[in-house]
Amino acid sequence: MSRLTVGSIEGLTENSNVISVPTGHSLNVTDAAGLQIGGSAVVSAGLVFISRTTIGSAVSSVTLSNIFSADYDNYRILISGGSGSSNQFIQFSFPGAATAAYNYQIVYGAWNNTASASGASGAVAYFPYMGTCTPTSLQGCVDIQSPYLTEQTFLGSFYARPGHIGTVTANVLNDTSSYTGVTVAPASGTFSDGNIDVYGYVKS
């Protein structure tokens, strides 16, 4: 259990585990886990950092284990930094999920204002458009709903790479299994040196 010790902060006092802040001043808390005001727990809106995984050198995949739990129902995964061996999409797969469970639909376009297009697929062994690799960067922003719960898992993402951008409008893992992790991989080749950050959406 963390404890804030009140010492020489002018005007700030502590009595019986109660911190008093003088009028006209504020107390900023960077980690509100367990914080209470007036005996009631404070629920922080937004995202809570869970983990960071650093991608190794020239690896073909990274499995993020034990990142989903009963603590959160919904998650965000960000991929940044690093590089890929070529221009490739980044794909997600859930260890143990059946191929027939994967279904997705995508809307995409080019940077030169050409008309957007769409595509869809079912029964593939992964979700294919979760981000991108280029020789100079990695990019991915994926929201995942209810992976740990015993219900369908939903993913939403967008990707961008030179000359091409897209928004995945629907990814559904059509089963009711509970998952604790996900595997991240380029569609082919390898990626290197970037970071994969996992956040949980705070329950209200």
Q: Which CATH architecture has domain 47-201?
A: Sandwich (2.60)
Give the global pTM.
0.77
Q: How many CA atoms lie within 13 A of 131 on its CB side?
A: 26
Q: Residue 129: which of 97, 95, 160, 175 has the closest Cα?
A: 160
pLDDT tens per residue, range 50-100: 999 999 999 999 999 999 999 999 999 999 999 999 999 999 999 999 999
Q: Say what the pLDDT of residue 148 is.
A: 98
In the chain, domain spans: 1-44, 47-201
